Amino acid sequence: MEASEKPEFDATLGGTEHLPYAANSLKFASSRSVEIAAMTECILRPSKTKLVFQTVPVHMRRRVMSHNSKRLPRKLRKAHLDQLKKSGLPPKQKRPSRKYRRRPANLLEEYNRRQKKNVWLETHIWHAKRFHMIERWGHRLPYAPCDKAFRACYRGSSAHCLLQDISYYTPIQITGAEKLIKEMFAKVTSSVCGLSIGATAYIKGTRHGIIHIYGINSFPFGYIGKVQFIWVPCDGTNKNLWLFVHPSQTDQIKSVLEKAASIQDKDNYETAKKRRKLENVTENIQIKAMPSSFNRFQLTGPNSHAVLVQSLKCVNDGIKNSKWLSLHKPLDLKEKDEYWRTISTASSPAQLPSNMVVGLVVKDPRLSRPQRRTKAKQDTNTEIDTKSLLHIPPFISNSPLWDIKIHEAIIKECKTNGQFIQHITKSQLVPGEVDEDDPALQCVPVVLVQRPGSQNPEFKKLGYGSGWDIILPSGYALPFWLTFIMFGARSGGLREKESLAFEMGECYLPPDSDAGKENERRIEIELRERYFRLPPSKRVNYIKIAINSPFVCPWNVLLTDWSDNKVNKYFVLRDRTILNDIQESITKKQCLPNVENANSCLIPVYIKLVAKGSLQKHSLICLPEAGDLANLKTLFEPHHEDPNEKIRKLKRAEHIKLQKKIRRSKMKLKKKVTTVGAKKLRKITGIEPSEYTKSMRELWLPSKVQSVRNVASRQVMGYVSQGAFSFTEGRSCGIGYIAFYALKHLLNNGLNQVLVRNTTSRKYRLANIVIVKNT
Amino acid sequence: MADENTQQKKEESKKRPKRHPNKNYALKKRLPLKPVDGDNVIFITKKTNFKAQLDKCCDLLTRGEKEIILHGLGAAIQRCCNLALQLEILFSGTCQIEVNTGTVDCVDDLEPLTEELDFDSQVRCSSSIHIRIFRNAMLGANQ
C-alpha cells in the first residue's frame, strides 16, 4: 500500500513531528488571514473575466439577464448595475406603464420633480396640452398655440378678446413712508421720461402707471426696464406700493431698489444725527419680491369687457361666511357693485377712464360658467351714461387682495375642481341649476386694471390694444381662466405678447437694457444655427449683398461709425419733450434739436413702407442719396465680390482630400484589427464643431464687424429690431433704432424718408418714419 | 374743470389749431360710444379704402338686405354722404335714403404733464350722421 510506504507525520504514530494537544484559534486564524482575505475578496468581487450575471448558477440564469437587472437575484443587482455603469452603457430602465404613471400620486410626484427646474404657471397643464412650451426667464411658458392661430389671435385683440396668462410677472411690495419711497425712486428714474411714481395722479391709487427704471443716478445709461406700479389706497403715512416687474429684470430691479434705499438710509441717519432727531431713523423702506403670490391675466380687445362682465358677479354685502372676511373686511361692497353695473354696458374697455384700478369681491367664477362655449355679448339696448365715465369714484380701488395675510386663508378654503363637482352633484337636486349664493364656495377678491390702448388716432386705430388686466389670488387661476375661455376668449402665448407690442408700435425689450441684449443674443444664436444647418447652396451669401451682420444689430459699431470716437455704452432716447420736438422737425423737415450725449444716442422709430414689400428683423435703414427718390424702381445694391469664395473652395477640396486619406488609413487599420484582434477605434462624436467647420463658418460670415456705415452703396443709419406685416396698418411695418447723428444728417439733406433693405435682398425700398413715443 | 377747458379752447382756437387745450395736460382720446351694431350696420371711417366700403355696401344690398345703416362721425361725415349718394346712383330707383343727424358726446382723457395735477376728463361734442338706405323695389337689376 502507498500509505504504509510513506513515513508518518505525527510522533504518536511513529513520525517526526510532536503536535500540541490544543490549538490557539486566534493564532490559527491570524496565520491564515491572508488566505481568508483572498477568498472573501474572490467571493465579493468575482474574477475580472466574468460579469456578475455570469456567476449565477445555470439553473438560476434567465434570458436577457444582463439588460434587465430585475431578473437577477436582488443581492447581485447592485454589483451588476455598477459593472454596467463602468462599461459605459447606462442601465436602461423600462418606462413604467401608462396606468402606473397616471395614478394621481405618481403624476403629482412627477410634476413636482419637473417643476424644480423651471417654475410653472398655475395654468401650466392646461397650456401644455394646447401650446408649444418654451423655457424663458426661469419659467416654462406657453409660446404659441398649436393650432397656428396667428391671425385669429390678432383678430381677437382687435375685435374680440385675447386672453394671456402673464402670472410670470413678479410682484414686488414696497412699504414705507411716502416721502422716502419718492426719494428712493427719484434716484432710479428720471423726470423727463414722464410722470414720476409719486405724482398726484397716481398716489391715490385709483390709477396705475408705468415708469422707466435706470441704474442708480446713471440716467440716461443703465436702463433696466419699464415697470407697472399700483399704489394701495390708504390714508396713513406708511404707504404700500406694488410693482409688477418682468421676470428678466426682477433681480436687477430688486437689487437696484435695495441699494437706493440703503444709500438713503445712510443719508437719513447722518442728517438725523446732526439734527439729533433719531426717531426718523427707525422708519425705512421694506422691499419684498413675492413671486407667484398673485395670478395675472391679460385680456385684450373690445369684447374683454363683456367677458369680464359676464363672468364676474359682485358680492353685494358680506354675508358670506368666508374665512378671509374675518381677517380683512372689504369696504364699500354695495357701491362697488352699483358702479360695476353702471359701467357694464360699455362696449369696449377703451371707453372707460384710462388706467383705472377696480377692486371687486366676486362670487366663485365656476358658478357663472356657461354650459358650452359661448361668445359673451353686450346687451346694447341700454346706453351708458357719459357722466359715469368722466370720473373714477374714490372708493372703487381699494381691495382686500393687497393684504397678504388673507392669502393663506383663501388658498385653504379654495375648492379644487374635483371638490367643486362633488359638492355640486351632492347638493343639487335639479341638474344644471346653479345656486349662486352657495355658502360653501367662498367669494374671491380680484383687482381689475384697465389698459387704455391706443389713444392717438393719427398713429393707431383708436382703442387698439385696450383691455383689462385681472389680478387674482394664487390658487384661483384655473377656475377664472376656464370661465373666460368658456365665454369666448381666445388664448395666446408669448408670441402674441410680442406681436401685440409690435402692432401697438411699442418697443418689446429695448436694446439698451440687459434683458434686451440677452434677447438679441438668443435670437442671434438661433438664427446662426439655422443658417449653418442649411446646405451651402441654399445659404444666402451675405458678403455678396454687402450685409455683414445679418443676425444681430451691432449698435456699438453703428454709433462709433457715426460719431468718430469709440462708443461702448449707448441708450435709447426717452425724453418726452425732445422726442416730440424731433417728431415735429421730421414732419416739417427742419433741423434737429440738440441732445445730450448725442454720440451714444439711439432714436426709436416706427417704419412704414410706402409701397409694397416685406420688412424683416435686422433689416438695414439706409440714408437715401440725392437722386434716389426719382428712380426707386431700379434702386438695387450692386453685386459685390466675395473674396472668400475661392478660399472656401480650396479649403473644401483640401479637406475632402484629407478626409479620404484618413478614411483609407482607417480601412487599413480595420483590416489589421480583424487579423490581429487589437482594440477597436472608437469614433469621437463631439458637440463642438471641428476646427475646419469653424474656419469655414468664419469665411461664410466674418464674426468681427469693424464698420457698418459704409459697407453698402447707401450709408447705414440704423437697424430694424422688429419687422413684419402689420395687420393694423395693412402693410409692412417695423420698429427700429436710428443713430442720432444719422437722423441729423438725413434732415440736413432735406429729407424725411429713409431707404430700407432686407438682409436677404438687394432691393432698397422707401419708407416713412414716425418717432415712437411710448417706448 | 370741463367748463374752464372749453372756455380756454374757445380762446385758443382763434390763435392756433386746438391740439393742446391746456399746456398742463396731454389730450388722449377715448373710443366714442357706439350705436347698436349688427350685420347691416357700417361705420364709415377715413382710414378704410372708400372703394372697399362701397363694395361692402353693394354686396349687402345685392345679397338681399332690406336696409343698411351707415354711421359717420366728425370728419367722416362727408365720406358717409358721398358713399350714400354713390349708392343711390348705383342702385338708381331701387333704393331710398333717409338721413338723420345727431351729436355724439365724446369723452377725452386729460393726462397731466406735471406732477401736481390729477387726471381729468372732458366731454367734447361731435356731429354725427346716420343714413338708412333701404330698398323700395327688389328688381335684381344690379345682379
The string of pLDDT tens digits covering residues A669-689 is 888 876 655 455 455 555 677
Is ipTM > 0.95 here? no
Contact B34 A466 (CB under 8 A): no
Highest mean pLDDT among A562-571, A764-773, B9-18: A764-773
Mean pLDDT calculated for residue range A576-584: 88
Contact B33 A455 (CB under 8 A): no
Chain A residues with CB inside 8 Å of B121's CB?
353, 389-391
Q: What is the reported pLDDT for A376? A: 84
Mean pLDDT calculated for residue range A261-270: 68
Q: What is the reported pLDDT for B16? A: 47
Residue window 71-130, chain B: list those with CB within 8 Å of chain A. 105, 107, 109, 111-113, 115-119, 121, 123
Size of interface A-B (CB pairs under 8 A): 77
Closest CA to A499 of A127, A145, A136, A128: A145
Q: Does pTM surpass 0.95?
A: no
Q: What is the reported pLDDT for B20? A: 53
Chain A residues with CB inside 8 Å of B24's CB?
none
Q: How many CB atoms lie within 10 A of CB A323?
A: 13
Q: What is the reported pLDDT for A168? A: 92
Q: What is the reported pLDDT for A340? A: 87
CA distance B84 to B76: 12
Q: What is the reported pLDDT for A280? A: 43
CB A509 within 8 A of CB A248: yes
Q: What is the reported pLDDT for B101? A: 93
Contact B112 A201 (CB under 8 A): yes
pLDDT > 90: percent of chain A? 23
Mean pLDDT calculated for residue range B40-69: 87
Closest CA to A89 of A66, A73, A61, A72: A66
Residue window 387-406, chain A: list those with CB within 8 Å of chain B. 389-391
Highest mean pLDDT among A54-68, A266-280, A294-308, B4-18: A294-308
B47 CB within 8 Å of a chain A CB: yes
Residue A443 has pLDDT above 90, yes or no: no
Residue A731 has pLDDT above 60, yes or no: yes
All three cell numbers of A55 = 456567476
CA distance A298 to A164: 5
Mean pLDDT calculated for residue range A88-102: 77
B83 compared with A685, residue with greater pLDDT: B83
Contact B112 A199 (CB under 8 A): yes
Among A351, A379, A579, A583, which would you mutate to test the B interface (most chain B Cβ atoms within 10 Å of its Cβ)? A351
Mean pLDDT calculated for residue range B3-31: 62
Task: Give the one of B30, B32, B37 whose C-beta lies nearest to A380's C-beta.
Answer: B37
Q: What is the reported pLDDT for B72? A: 92
pLDDT, mean over chain A: 85
Residue A278 has pLDDT above 70, yes or no: no
Q: What is the reported pLDDT for A719? A: 93
A689 compared with A537, residue with greater pLDDT: A537
Q: What is the reported pLDDT for B13? A: 47
Domains recognised in chain A with CATH numbers: 95-167+293-419+440-455+462-500 (3.30.1360.120), 170-289 (3.30.70.1400), 514-638+705-771 (2.40.30.110)
Mean pLDDT calculated for residue range A186-202: 85
Q: What is the reported pLDDT for A682? A: 53
Q: What is the reported pLDDT for B21? A: 61
CB A304 within 8 A of CB A485: no
Task: Give the one of A201, A348, A380 whose C-beta lies nearest to B119's C-beta.
Answer: A201
Residue A510 has pLDDT above 70, yes or no: yes
Among A179, A195, A388, A726, which would you mutate to test the B interface (most chain B Cβ atoms within 10 Å of its Cβ)? A195
The Cα of A211 is separated from the nearest Cα of chain B by a number of Å equal to 13
Contact B112 A380 (CB under 8 A): no
pLDDT, mean over chain B: 80
Residue A685 CA: distances (Å) to CA of A682, A688, A698, A725, B76:
9, 9, 22, 42, 69
Within 13 Å and on the Cβ side, how many CA atoms surround A504?
26
Contact B107 A386 (CB under 8 A): yes
Q: Is A705 helix (H, G, I), strand (E, B) or coil?
A: coil
Q: Which residues pair with A142 in a beta bridge?
A: A133
Of A75-89, A246-260, A507-521, least confident by mean pLDDT is A75-89
Q: What is the reported pLDDT for B3? A: 46
A69 compared with A586, residue with greater pLDDT: A586
Q: What is the reported pLDDT for B12? A: 47
* Chain A residue nearest residue B114, CA to CA: A195
Contact A347 B36 (CB under 8 A): no
Residue A281 has pLDDT above 70, yes or no: no
The pLDDT-based confidence of A283 (bands split at 50, 70, 90) is low
Mean pLDDT calculated for residue range A97-107: 89
Strand pairing of A601-609 and A571-572? parallel
The pLDDT-based confidence of B112 (bands split at 50, 70, 90) is confident
Closest CA to A729 of A607, A620, A629: A607
Contact B121 A391 (CB under 8 A): yes
Q: What is the reported pLDDT for A678? A: 46
CB A452 within 8 A of CB A355: yes
Q: What is the reported pLDDT for A483? A: 92
Chain B residues with CB inside 8 Å of A726's CB?
none
Residues B2-13+21-33+41-135, CATH architecture: 2-Layer Sandwich (3.30)
CB B44 within 8 A of CB B76: yes
CB A52 within 8 A of CB A79: yes
Mean pLDDT calculated for residue range A516-522: 92
Return all residues near A719 (Cβ < 8 A) that are at least 6 apart: A553, A555, A558, A618, A619, A620, A621, A736, A737
CA distance A573 to A595: 9
Task: Give the one of A200, A207, A383 whose C-beta lies nearest to B116's C-beta.
Answer: A200
Residue A478 has pLDDT above 80, yes or no: yes
Encoded amino acid at A367, one letter: L
- Delimit the domains of chain B by residue range: 2-13+21-33+41-135
